[in-house]
């Protein structure tokens, strides 16, 4: 994009498209780097690394994709002290270790509930914007059926966990590395290393698990997700979805939505009907670049 983001300055070369099992795929070269600088939790002197909860995300993948990985950890122990079953990044991928001090772990979205308060009664839902989002999330929760595996996109979709019928057994997945995403935590449960894809502090349900972000996308691309709830910037009358790039804004690209519109069995867009400026987001034709057509 040109400065200011109003015009396209350079158009990239189109990528090759192939069809596998009647599905269209874009062929993309894997990304590699000279260096990866990542944050771990505990390492041994050989360089084996364990990450803490959702802080695993893409970190181990980045080590594998780089020529030299530098991992900062909170503790270094002698080789042999880590349980081999718990090692998430083998030392062959790690070239340097750094032990940091005085860690500060900022929390971008401090979404907590008070003791004795139901998750749906969080302070977050008592603001004007929170009330609107809560109403939409509560309605979207009614689409959920027993035993569903569900992915929640950034924004309103991640709020749906707070409005579920308690009789349902459902499993929420978040692209940053959770299967078994829970509700907002009480203050004493807050952990900066346990967040959802929207950067909000969360909990994990009994039987839940943590994994790499690449593993979560394998679940999506493999057709294992029953429903995905996505945010949207525009939706057309044909079901086209645009929730793509806005230059200069926080969400700088398509992200996992590209995989979700193609891999999930059912796709539900959860958004407000108008922009902050009052412009409609449900249109005859989308004017923004499409994430997926006829979703």
Task: Give the active site residues.
Answer: 175
User: What 3-state class would DSSP assign to 109?
Assistant: strand
Please report how many Cα atoms fall inside a 13 Å half-sphere around the Cα of residue 198, on the Cβ side.
Answer: 22
Please report how many Cα atoms fall inside a 13 Å half-sphere around the Cα of residue 59, on the Cβ side.
Answer: 25
Q: At CA 122, angle to CA 109 and CA 231, rounded to 5?
A: 55
Closest CA to 196 of 156, 248, 144, 249: 156
Sheet holding 33-39, edge to edge: 33-39, 66-73, 96-99
- DSSP H helical segments within the chain, as ranges? 59-65, 128-140, 213-221, 257-263
How far apart CA 89 and CA 121 sit, in angstroms, is 40
Q: Are 53 and 193 within 8 A, CB to CB?
A: yes
User: What 3-state class would DSSP assign to 209?
Assistant: strand
How far apart CA 75 and CA 45 sit, in angstroms, is 10
Inter-CA distances, 141 with 15, 110, 164, 254, Å: 37, 22, 6, 24
Contacts of 203 (CB under 8 A, 6+ apart): 182, 183, 184, 185, 189, 194
Q: At CA 197, angle to CA 60 and CA 181, rounded to 5?
A: 95
How far apart CA 291 and CA 149 sit, in angstroms, is 22
């Amino acid at each position: 994009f040109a400065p200011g983001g109003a015009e396209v300055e350079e158009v990239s070369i189109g990528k090759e498209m192939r069809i596998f099992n009647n599905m269209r795929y874009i062929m993309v070269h894997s990304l590699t780097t000279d260096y990866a600088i990542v944050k771990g939790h505990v390492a041994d002197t050989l360089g084996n690394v364990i990450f803490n909860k959702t802080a695993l995300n893409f970190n181990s993948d980045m080590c594998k994709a780089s020529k030299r990985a530098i991992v900062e950890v909170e503790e270094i122990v002698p080789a042999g002290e880590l349980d081999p079953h718990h090692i998430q990044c083998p030392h062959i991928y790690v070239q340097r270790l750094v032990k940091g001090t005085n860690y500060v772990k900022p929390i971008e979205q401090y979404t907590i509930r008070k003791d004795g308060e139901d998750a749906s009664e969080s302070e977050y839902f008592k603001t004007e914007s929170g009330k609107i989002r809560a109403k939409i999330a509560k309605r979207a929760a009614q689409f959920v059926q027993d035993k569903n595996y569900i992915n929640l996109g950034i924004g309103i979709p991640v709020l749906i966990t707070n409005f579920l019928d308690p009789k349902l057994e459902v499993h929420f997945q978040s692209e940053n590395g959770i299967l078994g995403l829970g509700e907002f935590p009480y203050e004493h449960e807050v952990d900066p290393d346990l967040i959802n894809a929207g950067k909000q502090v969360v909990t994990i349900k009994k039987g839940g698990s943590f994994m790499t972000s690449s593993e979560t996308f394998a679940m999506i691309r493999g057709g294992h997700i029953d429903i995905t709830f996505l945010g949207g910037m525009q939706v057309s009358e044909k079901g086209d979805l645009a929730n793509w790039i806005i230059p200069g804004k926080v969400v700088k690209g398509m992200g996992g939505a590209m995989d979700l519109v193609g891999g999930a069995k059912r796709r539900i867009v959860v958004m407000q009907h108008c922009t902050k400026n009052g412009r409609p987001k449900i249109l005859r034709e989308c004017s923004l670049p499409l994430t997926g057509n006829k979703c």
